Amino acid sequence: MIRRSRLRRRLDRRPGGVPAAVPFLVLMSLVLVLGPAGCSDAKDGRAEPRKTVPAKKPNIVFVLTDDLSWNLVAHMPQVRDMQARGLTFDNFFVADSLCCTSRSTILTGKYPHNTGVRTNFPPDGGYEVFKAHGGEQSAFGAGLQKAGYRTAFLGKYLNGYQPGDTQGGATPYVPPGWSEWYVTGNGYPEYNYNLNENGRLVRYGQAPQDYLTDVLSGKANDFVQRAADARQPFFMEVATFAPHGPFVPAPRHAAVLPGVRAPRSPSFNEPDVRDKPSWLRSHPRLRKPGLRAIDNGFRDRARMVQAVDEMIARLRQTLAAKGLDRDTYLVFGSDNGFHMGEHRLAGGKMTAFDTDIRVPYVVVGPGVQAGRRTGALVQNTDLAPTFLDLAGAPVPPATDGRSLVPFLRGTEPAGWRNVALIEHVKPRPTAEDPDRQDSAPGAPPTYNALRLRDALYVEYQDGEREFYDLVRDPHQLANQGGRLPPDRQRQLSALLYALTHCSGAGCASAGRTR
């Protein structure tokens, strides 16, 4: 094991011979960037094809945060600037509001019922289950490599992954599809962790420069700088542990935002939960100590994302300085949302409420119009096919999602879904689960749900149901599950059954109401 006490010394280490992005091509016109063009030569009256410059493959930088909810974006000026300069997906939903299930879906483009990953740990989920179901082979990294990309993965991979595990080899294991690998297992405290750095286990301690988000920022910046000197397009995912609990901000941010507290939406500490399902009806109203803990937690979460925002600023500056910004898509998002006080719930996720399933996603890059927003229902199943599509790589037939590239170019694809699927299996409580605060008896039981433009419908394993009219009740306060007309309930149940049993291209048709 290698001990490195200073960030500067770690960042000065340069792996040799790492190709990355093609230098920026100065093209005659935007038409040539978007595709082949022809012209007519008047010398002999015959039309002759003009020799065209093939479109350059773009670079892609994906910043994936952990448990970052929409109400934290107000404290992230870089993300807000991305919104002003790019495209915001206002209705981006995760297929399950839980770390490992969501990240497995992101990597493969498949719903949890097809990845086999339903929880954070075996036997229902975790890294071992992902690997056993062929997740590493079907993850988008391998497809990008085949398309000529240099790929890098930094930060958090999947729950249960151990950076020192050799998987029977001589050195720590690096999954297929990744040219560079800087990944840890337990980075939640932000200090005292090991990183698998391209097959070498490196120990980081508790010095200020060992703060994990900052270490990832340095390595990401280093990768981009080296990529600028090579002739190969690149994909880089930087997956932070921030702002996941235990809510440890960087030392320089420990005292900022002193007056911030958790937003008080109409659902905060909901006055009347008698109409809610039994798992939620039993929750008493939050009292002063609980409210104080929620405010303190939210404040530290807002402090944590300052380092993430600074990382984004640094990456954008480096891309611009190296002339890569006009050839690079920068994608910002979260693996799931997080509730803090809504519906009388303290801190956690896993519910079908919008606080947990609706997450921020913003994209800037070539051809993306500034300040655009779309209300189309998109999901984390759509990320893998989007990355492959941008790279000009084939999308595997088993992919459940669809490419978002048409949205980046200002159009909505024909036949786009108008129903998003949410599916969740209640985890077994275990001391090793970083989300165990949500695994207590008061957490929701196993359920499947539909999120439509104007409604939320939930079927629990125990037979209870929820239905919210989001036009009249956007904060999901009045459960009408027991008052649905029989025909409407049958329609929703049939739609839910079709989606929870779909695969591949069949999910596109299953995701549209008749």
DSSP string covering 255-271: TS-TT------TTBT-S
Average pLDDT score over residue span 334-352: 96
DSSP 72-119: GGGG-HHHHHHHHHSEEETTEE-SSSSHHHHHHHHHHS--HHHH---B
Buried b (16+ CB within 10 A) or exposed e, 69-94: bbbbbebbebbebbbebbbbbebbbb
Quote the pLDDT of residue 514: 64
- Respond yes or no: is residue 99 known to be catalytic: yes
pLDDT at residue 329 above 70?
yes
Phi, psi of 383 (to 5 degrees): -70, -50
Average pLDDT score over residue span 180-185: 98
Q: How many CA atoms lie within 13 A of 82 on its CB side?
A: 28
H or E segment at 10? helix 7-12
Average pLDDT score over residue span 168-195: 97
Whole-number percent of the chain with pLDDT over 70 = 88
Task: Outline where DSSP puts E strands in 6-50.
Answer: 39-40, 47-48
Rounded Cα distance, 163 and 145, in Å = 22
Percentages helix, strand, coil for the chain (3-state, rounded to 5) are 30, 20, 50
Quote the pLDDT of residue 345: 95
Quote the pLDDT of residue 55: 58
pLDDT at residue 20 above 80?
no
Summarised one tens digit per residue, pLDDT across range 443-471 is 899 999 999 999 999 999 999 999 999 99
Give the Å distances, CA to CA, from 339 to 199, 268, 396.
Answer: 37, 9, 35
Quote the pLDDT of residue 23: 36
Quote the pLDDT of residue 84: 98
Rounded Cα distance, 109 and 102, in Å = 10
Helix 99-108 crosses helix 383-390 at what angle (to 10 degrees)? Answer: 30
pLDDT at residue 319 above 90?
yes
Q: What confidence category does residue 440 fall into, taking pLDDT thresholds of 50, 70 and 90?
A: low
Give the Å distances, CA to CA, from 360 to 70, 95, 334.
Answer: 6, 14, 6
Q: Which residue has the tokens 């990240």?
A: 103
Quote the pLDDT of residue 437: 62
Q: 455 exposed, middle or buried (CB, 10 Å; 0-12, 13-18, 19+)?
A: middle
pLDDT at residue 442 above 70?
no
Rounded Cα distance, 130 and 157, in Å = 11
Choice among 39, 99, 502, 507 that is catalytic: 99
pLDDT at residue 50 above 60?
no
The tokens describing 296, both together, are 């303190």
Q: Model pTM? A: 0.89
pLDDT at residue 355 above 80?
yes
Summarised one tens digit per residue, pLDDT across range 475-500 is 999 999 999 999 999 999 999 999 99
Residues 6+ apart with CB under 8 A from 308: 63, 65, 68, 76, 213, 240, 242, 243
Q: What confidence category does residue 25 fall into, taking pLDDT thresholds of 50, 70 and 90?
A: very low
Rounded Cα distance, 205 and 274, in Å = 49
Q: Are 192 and 164 in contact (CB under 8 A)?
A: no
